[in-house]
Amino acid sequence: ESSGLPIVHHSKYVCDLPANHRFPMAKFPRVLHCLLQDQVITERQVWVPEIASKDLLGTVHTEDYLNNFISGRINEQEQRRTGFPWGTVLAAEVALQRGLACSTAGGTHHAFPSYGSGFCLLNDLAVAAKYLMNSSSRKRKVLIVDLDVHQGDGTAFIFKDEPSVFTFSVHCGKNFPVRKQQSDLDISVEDGLEDKEYLSTHLPWLLETFRPDLLLYDAGVDPHWEDELGRLRLTDQLYQRDLYVMKTVVKRGIPIATVIGGGYSRDINKLALRHSIVHRA
């Protein structure tokens, strides 16, 4: 209903977790609340996704894993590995129509075809890339730019033999996951990295050489110095990072869909505000 920035959100982005669970589930509705309260957006800009079908998820994940996941038969060992995709496909579709769209969730890049890992159950970036890659008469090329502090290992593994998807990850080398996968381009940075050393200059070169039809951007805020799992020293200049990525892509006429990625803090209001940086940019 609005010509403003499309924001993809669903009230069921959240589910109940045990008390004191490490994953800050409540951040998803708070991101939308921040954007509305600060009048960054209006309700008319919110797009509501449908639930992902098993067929759609099956383009990335194995049938056994999906059957066990959907029916609640994930065993205790597998549950421990996950730590316990929801609008990313719609955000990507809207981006193709409008040029730019931002989800209030997403970025579950540690999920592999046959198992979840690191708070990630289903790999929304991979599902969206596979769906959009094959939903036109000409196979689309998708560039995944992952600036979460943790390597997008599941995404890298899923697309390691897929020439139509390029995976680019900038991450803290000594952080989770211990065993890294090989992205098409990995930039591993040291603990304690600060703003001035961080901004990557690889993006323009990638856009010129790979020439994607769509870019999926994981704007994780866990490189922030206050993040509980981050180990880097970035500040609220994450705004400049996100603005740089989006300007660089949009000015070349390439559609871009963003997800919020990782961010960990006991202070949900502060965390949600940090996650809203990409929407403000």
Cα separation, 240 vs 130, whole angstroms: 30
The answer to the question of residue 95 being in a domain is yes
The answer to the question of residue 79 being in a domain is yes
Indicate the DSSP class of residue 160.
T
The answer to the question of residue 173 being in a domain is yes
pTM, to two decimals: 0.80
**Residue corresponding to tokens 């705004």:** 239
110 is catalytic: yes
Here the tokens at position 103 are 């989800």
E-strand stretches of 38-123: 46-47, 100-103
Domain coverage including residue 109? 7-11+22-279
The answer to the question of residue 188 being in a domain is yes
Amino acid at position 207, single letter: L
Across the chain, mean pLDDT equals 84
What is the CATH number for 93? 3.40.800.20
**pLDDT one-digit tens code per residue, 157-199:** 999 999 999 999 987 766 667 788 999 999 887 665 665 556 6
The one catalytic residue in 9, 10, 109, 110 is 110
Say whether 191 sits in a helix, a strand or coil: coil
Q: What DSSP element (H or E) covers 146?
A: strand 142-146
Most distant pair of Cα atoms in the chain: their distance:
48
* 3-state class percentages of the chain: helix first, strand second, coil last, to nearest 5: 35, 15, 50
Q: Buried b / exposed e across 164-190, counting CB within 10 Å, b at 16+?
A: bbbbbbbbbeebbeeebbebbbbeebe
Indicate the DSSP class of residue 115.
B
Number of domains making up the chain: 1
The answer to the question of residue 237 being in a domain is yes
Say whether 75 sits in a helix, a strand or coil: coil
**pLDDT one-digit tens code per residue, 102-155:** 999 899 988 999 988 877 888 999 999 999 998 888 899 999 999 888 888 999
